[in-house]
Amino acid sequence: MKTYYKHISIKDWQRGNSARYIEKGVDPMHQRIKTKYVEADDYRADFRTTTEIRYNYATMVRRDRGADVAYFYEKKQGDILMNLVMLDFYYGVPTLLKCAYEKMGGDTRRAITLIEGAIDLKLLVREPFYANKRKKILMPTVKMVVSFENRMARWFWDMALGRNKAPEDSKIIKKLYAYDALRKKHLPENISKQIEFNFVDFPDSGSQRTGPKLVA
């Protein structure tokens, strides 16, 4: 079975091995993420659990039609796609394009527009599936993983505030601070600044979607 993500240490950068993981002529933020730092495994276990809960909730509309309140359910294809791709990322597997369409359901034209828009915005990469070149897979870019995990980090921060606790005392926030310290120590400054967790300058202005207009 093909391995889609190579687990390496963040210290590899200082050992001079970083070049092997970056495509020449491609913005590192826009390339498909191919490596996972083992130092991130601890906090990503928490992120994976939360992502799985969000994904299950987003797809509940299909599984809970028997409930009286199902009348109010609305399938959010964007939430399903985002959480599906990231959940697969945390489990170390690609997302089959066909599977994404099936899980998103609803308006096929809208689903296609969402996926194509994410590819145009350098959030997703579409590639042939190694076992069957006629099938396609979706993989997240560095840009998508960084953006998703920044929002996830802020969610944990806000959760602590909502419980009237100091976020800095939260176990998960401590993990994120520790990981950021490693990134600043071992990665080039121009890269670490692009991917660090940002708990201060976080936009709170609603939707920031700038991709192609969705089909109504």
Q: What is the DSSP string of the chain?
A: -----EEE-GGGGTTT-GGGGS-TTS-GGGSBP-EEEGGGHHHHHHHHHHHHHHHHHHTHHHH-TTSGGGGG----HHHHHHHHHHHHHHHT--EEHHHHHHHH-S-HHHHHHHHHHHHHTTSEEEEEETTEEEEEEEEEBHHHHHHHHHHHHHHHHHHHHHTT--GGGSHHHHHHHHHHHHHHHHS-HHHHHHHS--SSS---SS----SSPPP-
203 is a domain residue: no
* Position 1 in a domain: no
In tens, the pLDDT along 195-204 reads 888 765 544 4
Total structural domains in the chain?
1
Query: Where residue 120 sits, what CATH number does that domain have?
Result: 1.10.10.10
Q: Is this model's pTM higher than 0.75 or not?
A: yes
pLDDT in tens, 165-202: 888 889 999 999 999 999 888 888 878 888 888 765 54
What range does the domain containing 23 cover?
A: 6-195
Q: What is the pLDDT of residues 120-156, one digit of tens each?
A: 999 999 999 988 888 999 999 999 999 999 999 999 9
pLDDT at 77: 92
Domain membership of residue 94 (yes or no) is: yes
Q: Is residue 206 part of a domain?
A: no
Structure confidence by residue, pLDDT tens digits, 80-108:
999 999 999 999 999 999 999 999 987 88
